[in-house]
Amino acid sequence: MNQNNHDYVKKPLPPKFGTYGLGFAALGLILSILALVADPVRASFDSLIVFVFLIGMGMCSLFLIGLEYLTGAVWSVPFRRIAEYLVPLVFIAPIFAIPVFFNFSHVFQWANPEYLTLHKTVMAKTAFLNPQFFYIRITAIIVLVGLFSIVIIRNSAKQDNNSDQNLTKKNIRLSAGLMPIFGLGITLIGIDWIMSLEPLWFSTIFGVYYFAGSLLTAFAAITLIAIKLKSFGALPSWITKDHFYNLGAFLFAFINFWAYIAFSQFMLIWYANLPEETFWFLSRTQGSWLYISIGIIFIKFIIPYAGLLSQPSKSNINRLKYVGWWIIFAQFFDLYWLIMPTFSKSGAVFSWTELGFPLLGLGLVMILFKYSYTKRNLIPIGDPKLKRAMDFHL
Amino acid sequence: MENKKLHSVVGLFSTPDSIIHAAEKTIEKGYKHYDINTPYPVHGMDSAMKLKPSTMGYFALAFGLTGTAVALSFMYWVFNIAYPLNIGGKPNFPLPALIPITFELTVLFAAIGTVLSLLFVFFKMPDNSNPLHDTDYIKHCTSDMFGLCIEAEDKLFSEAEVKDFLAGLGATNIESIYYPKINTLPIFTKNFIIFLLCSAIVVSGAVYFVTNKLMFMTPYNWMLNQDRINAQAPSDFFKDGFGMRDAVEGTVPRDFIPEEFKASPDSAGTFLINPLEMTDAVLAKGEAKFKTFCSPCHGNYAKGDSRLRGLFPNPPTLHSKKVRNWPDGRIYHVITFGQNVMPSYAKQLSRDERWAVINYVRSLQRAFNPKEEDFNESK
């Protein structure tokens, strides 16, 4: 029944893992509730950061699964399950949208009637930017992407038992259908939840910007989890440096892709010098935001770029681990830079209130991972491409 | 055959798996000077041969950084030192605008530098010979088989032993490769020089034919032959046959202020007031203009002694009581519109120049008909 001569043995996660996850989640929950009591608007912004972080990561993990099916990629087959474990974040992330829901008109200025009477331009955008349509959009994205994810992941899990090649064919067709929905969905999330915080501002490249950052995060998370699993021996021995080299190369490529998109957005706005576009960047040079803005260049581009530039470093497990954590941090930093200036215009603010929601998010990701890991195999043992993945060499 | 120098012993394998296995065995045996020749890059070969990461990357990095430095410093020199130019109100060193060019030059330098260092450092370019060239072995290696070549330089090398070793691995077509009689091939043979000459003639002939016959274009002489009419030239286009046209009737030049009091010299005397004062600068200007435009008829001292020797009727003296008692505006009217034979000088003299001339005439009049206080002052 099972043609693949894999030597995969399911190994349980260390018992501490679940405890840590619960601990982080509990601590994060307490801190988040305290933050919500102390300053509900600020806490809503913090929660919004974690929402776009997690939903982007979840959706891009599904995108990577779809990409693997569509391109017939071989090297990524043993890592596909890790991405599958992360996809349910699409359903978990909306928890972080609840504080935003209760402070909606404080977070999104276009939902505030007083603001609308002052700004005729935004008034003209209300055909798109109104709360009802806003909720319809996000619900539609989550439901559609969620349906695709459920079917694709179920097919993939079924294959472990019967090694049916038709399931792969089905998933290829599903992935082709998923792509346009994913593209539209991630663009709309970027525009709705981040760009519309400044309803006067617009940038047509913003959806790609958010996609680039999210995909980078998904790659970093998959790399980190793979390295963690390898360190306690859950990955079979045939997963070599060559498999990790591909993860490193993709990380490096998408660091460059993000920088390219981010610079394109900045340079075109800087060069055209139109007041209705430049104010967004100008408001990010006020007070201490200037240092955050300059920091973005180093934190999200130059440091990880230099870290992965040389060829051996892309398969160096230790280096990949540090760069992975660094990119997770950089994505938070980037989202903080995108979202927080709307809340605090004069300068950057940071205190314990910002820590609660990321901790809760980390805890939830760990609990989700433990649940999915115990439920399903780490290696898709029935996948027809697994034999070639085992033989993969550079 | 015996006095030839041995280069290596080679053997051929038919599958990629067997060549990887052979590479691993060769490493195990301890051979250092050996090479694998394959028709395409075989996956896993680097690790089978236990190759260290190539140093090529450092060349690329060095050349890339050179490109970055060259682009930035050159553009800094252009924008700030050689030709400082403000473009669109941007700073003189607009870094964001220069990033794309810097990026392109970095890539260009890295790419070209890497290829050149590959050719000249790694392939030792001017020396283009290798004993493996023109052997059956390399012909198979570039089409259908995988070759292993163990070189005679190796310390462990012995021809018979290596041949046994290759046969043990399952290699076919095992043979010894010798250095050619001449180590480096002579370039300037007779045939090669004839080839060079022929190609030089063909290439230059082709270039001449293409650029002078096929693609010949007249030089740009648009500035010489323009569709316009020269000054004073006739034209068939217009009814009156004149090439030069008058301005449309009623056209007014820019900054044109019409002269007033054309037909009433007395009101000009009453209402026009000399705006200039009797300063040295004004008198100097007035003198210069008077000597240029007025003195030919009125004489250097305005006495009415024309230098034109009676070609025109002599103008009256300007020292007469009538002219002395005229207000400035009245004289201005004469200069502007003319009087009797005298034409208008409005085109030759600007308004200020006319007033300056009037001031100068006043000083001449005062010099020839001084007042009492002038003498008292000089005492």
**A194-204, pLDDT tens digit by residue?**
999 999 999 99
A270, A310, A311 member nearest B96 (Cβ):
A270
B26 neighbors B34 (Cβ within 8 angstroms): yes
- Who's near A53: CB < 8 A, 6+ residues apart? A217, A331, A332, A335, A361
Q: What is the mean pLDDT of residues A168-173?
A: 94
**Structure confidence by residue, pLDDT tens digits, A78-100:** 999 999 999 999 999 999 999 99
Q: Select from B25, B23, B16 the least CA-distant residue to B46.
A: B23
pLDDT digits (tens, 9 = 90+) for A206-220: 999 999 999 999 999
Task: Supply the angle between the helices B280-289 and B351-368 in degrees, to the nearest 10.
Answer: 100
Q: What share of chain B is helix, strand, coil (3-state, %, to 5)?
A: 50, 10, 45
Q: Do B100 and A267 touch (CB under 8 A)?
A: yes
pLDDT at A190 over 60: yes
Position A163 scores a pLDDT of 85
Side by side, which strands form the sheet with B172-178?
A: B34-37, B146-151, B6-13, B172-178
Region A33-55 average pLDDT: 94
Burial degree of A254 (CB within 10 A; 0-12, 13-18, 19+): buried
Closest-CA residue of A relative to B45 is: A394
In this predicted model, which residue has the larger pLDDT, A243 or B1? A243
Which of B365, B266, B265 shows the shortest CA–CA distance to B317? B365
**Contact yes or no for B47 and A271 at CB 8 A:** no
Q: Which residues of A touch B44 (CB under 8 A)?
A: 393-394
> Are residues A309 and B61, on separate chains, in Cβ contact within 8 Å?
yes
- Is pLDDT larger for residue A103 or for residue B222? A103
User: Which of B260, B274, B300 shows the shortest CA–CA distance to B353?
Assistant: B274
Query: Is there a contact between A85 and A368 (Cβ–Cβ < 8 Å)?
Result: yes
Query: Domain segments of chain A: what residues?
Result: 15-390
Note whether B96 contacts A267, CB cutoff 8 Å. Answer: yes
Q: Which tops the pLDDT comparison, A27 or B377?
A: A27
Please tell me the predicted confidence (pLDDT) of residue B2: 52
Residue B91, chain A, CB below 8 Å: the answer is no
Any chain A CB within 8 A of the CB of B343?
no
pLDDT tier, A278 (very low <50, low <70, confident <90, very high otherwise): very high
Q: Do B99 and A267 touch (CB under 8 A)?
A: yes
Token representation of residue A341: 């200036």
**φ, ψ for residue A315, nearest 5 deg:** -115, 10
Instruction: Give the number of A-B residue pairs with CB atoms closer than 8 Å.
Output: 28
Cβ of A311 within 8 Å of Cβ of B97? The answer is: no
Measured in angstroms, the CA of A14 and the nearest CA of chain B are apart by 33
Q: What is the Cα–Cα distance from A62 to A202, expressed in whole angstroms?
A: 28
Q: What whole-number distance in Å separates Cα of residue A116 and Cα of residue A131?
A: 13
Token digits for A96?
């972080």
Task: Tell whether ipTM is more than 0.95.
Answer: no
- Over the stretch A107-148, which tens digit does the pLDDT of each residue have? 999 999 999 999 988 999 999 999 999 999 999 999 999 999
Segment 56-75 of chain B within 8 Å of chain A by CB:
57, 61
**For residues A44 and A97, what is the distance between their CA atoms, to the nearest angstrom?**
8
The whole-angstrom separation of Cα A99 and Cα A50 is: 11
- Distance, in angstroms, between B277 CA and closest chain A CA? 53
Alpha helices in chain A (DSSP H): 15-38, 40-71, 80-86, 89-92, 98-102, 104-107, 113-118, 120-124, 131-162, 165-193, 206-231, 241-272, 275-283, 289-296, 303-308, 317-343, 353-375, 386-390
Q: Which residue has the tokens 């009419």?
A: B229
- Judged by CB atoms closer than 8 Å, whether chains meet at A263 and B61 is answered as no
Lowest mean per-residue pLDDT among A56-65, A376-385, B197-206: A376-385
CA atoms of A67 and A219, how far apart (whole Å): 13
Using CA atoms, how far residue B171 sits from A200, B7, B23, in Å, is 74, 18, 12
Asked if B99 is an interface residue toward chain A (Cβ–Cβ < 8 A), one would say: yes
Mean pLDDT over A312-331 rounds to 93
Contacts of A389 (CB under 8 A, 6+ apart): A74, A75, A76, A77, A78, A243, A383
B150 DSSP β-pair partners: B9, B34
Q: Where are the domains of chain B?
A: 6-178, 265-368
Cross-chain residue pair B53–A311, CB shorter than 8 Å: yes
Average pLDDT over residues A359-372: 93
- Dihedral sign of CA atoms B367, B372, B373, B379 in order: positive
Using the structure block, give the residue that is written with the tokens 């699993």: A229
Provide mean pLDDT across the span A45-60: 95
Return the pLDDT at A1: 40
Three-class DSSP category at A90? helix
Any CB–CB contact under 8 A between B313 and chain A?
A: no
Tokens coding A137: 């959009």
Instruction: Look at A331 and A2; give whichever has higher pLDDT.
Output: A331
CA distance B141 to B155: 26
- Residue B369 DSSP label: S
As to burial, measured by CB atoms within 10 angstroms (0-12 exposed, 13-18 middle, 19+ buried), residue B97 is middle
pLDDT of residue B1: 47
Residue with tokens 């006495």: B303
Q: Which chain B residue's Cα is nearest to A262?
A: B96
Chain-centroid distance, C-alpha A275: 32
- DSSP 3-state of A119: coil
Mean pLDDT split into 10-residue runs, chain B, 379 residues: 76 89 87 88 83 85 95 93 85 90 95 91 75 86 90 84 87 85 69 93 95 82 78 86 85 81 81 86 91 87 80 82 87 88 86 90 88 68
B112: left (phi over 0), alpha (psi -120 to 50) or beta: alpha
Task: Test B43 with A393 for CB contact under 8 angstroms.
Answer: yes
* DSSP-derived secondary structure letter, B314: P
Q: What is the pLDDT of residue B183?
A: 55
The span from the CA of B96 to the CA of B79, in Å, is 14
Residues of B in Cβ contact (< 8 Å) with A293: none
In eight-state DSSP terms, residue B129 is -
The CA–CA distances, whole Å, from B179 to A236, B185, B378 equal: 49, 12, 118
Q: Give me B313's structure tokens.
A: 């009727």
Asked if the model's pLDDT at residue A243 lies above 80, the reply is: yes
**CATH of range B265-368; options 3.90.280.10, 1.10.1740.10, 1.10.760.10, 3.40.190.10:** 1.10.760.10
Confidence band of A312 (pLDDT split at 50, 70, 90):
confident
Q: Does B96 touch chain A (CB under 8 A)?
A: yes
Answer whether B100 sits within 8 Å of A394, measured CB to CB: no
Of A280, A292, A298, nearest to A348 by C-alpha is A292
Amino acid residing at B12: L
Spatial separation of the C-alpha atoms in residues A354 and A53, rounded to whole Å: 14
Residues belonging to chain A with any Cβ–Cβ distance to chain B shorter than 8 Å: 263, 266-267, 270-271, 273, 309-312, 392-394
| Residue B211 neighbours by CB under 8 Å, 6+ apart | none
